[in-house]
Amino acid sequence: VDSDGDGIREDSATGTPFKVTLGTTSGNEMRQQLTQIFKENMLQCGIDVELYYLASSEWFADGPDGPLFGRRFDLGEFAWLTGVEPSCGLYLSSAITGPIEEGFGGWGESNETGWSNADYDAVCNAAASSLPGTPEYEDNHKEAQRIFSQEVPVIPLFLRLKVAAARTNVVNFSVDPTQNSELYNIYELDLQ
């Protein structure tokens, strides 16, 4: 409900405006443009978004002080490297960042969302302990992805396009979107 007509929804009981923060790294034009677009889109829905930008070393610092891995944020935007194989292990309950003595995985873990789902953990662990190409591997990964897509602990925005070129006499050159470098298979490259 927007009772005062300012375009921002409020809690009907307290009148508190619906406002969240969105953080990401500074010095990255694409991320800053993306967060501006997100803010504009949320304003159209009646949600105020306060943007903030931090140096990568500060944003990605381990917890408890680092905002991302210390889980001290409302919304966060960052790039995540992916592989061809599903990476369900990133969001296991055992990978929740936090103090080990409190039952979390430690400050260097990957589940910065704090999301926990016992069914997801079970099928992800079953997939990880199965051989690739087996029905158990594929079925458990599919079930993990189904649970993940229903609960949406994170929203993947897009995959970054990779483009590369080589002379026509270079053999075995290919682009693999899961690799950090176009030279991931340098040992296979040759000239005709």
Q: Per-residue pLDDT tens for 154-165?
A: 988 877 778 889
Q: What range defines the domain where residue 97 resides?
A: 84-160
- The tally of CA atoms less than 13 A away on the side-chain side of residue 41 is 6
User: pTM of the full predicted structure?
Assistant: 0.77
Q: How far is the C-alpha of 56 from the C-alpha of 63, rounded, in Å?
A: 14
User: 15, 47, 79: which is the final residue of a domain?
Assistant: 79
Report how far apart, in Å, the C-alpha atoms of 72 and of each of 62, 65, 75, 120, 170 are. Answer: 11, 8, 9, 24, 48
pLDDT tens-digit series, residues 108-130: 899 999 999 999 999 999 999 99
Q: Where are the alpha helices (DSSP H) in 26-174?
A: 29-44, 56-59, 118-128, 135-151
CATH of the domain at 75: 3.40.190
Using CA atoms in the order 156, 42, 39, 63, what is the torsion angle rounded to 10 degrees?
A: -50
3-state SS class at 101: helix
**Are both 102 and 58 inside the same structural domain?**
no
pLDDT of 186 strictly over 90: yes
3-state SS class at 53: strand
**Are both 33 and 96 inside the same structural domain?**
no
Average pLDDT over residues 91-115: 94
User: 9, 44, 79: which is the final residue of a domain?
Assistant: 79
**Are both 93 and 29 inside the same structural domain?**
no
**Are both 93 and 142 inside the same structural domain?**
yes
> Chain-wide mean pLDDT for the chain?
92
**Are both 122 and 180 inside the same structural domain?**
no
**Are both 6 and 56 inside the same structural domain?**
yes
How many domains does the chain contain in total?
Answer: 3
pLDDT tens-digit series, residues 23-78: 999 999 999 999 999 999 999 999 999 999 999 999 999 889 999 999 999 999 98
pLDDT of 1 strictly over 90: no
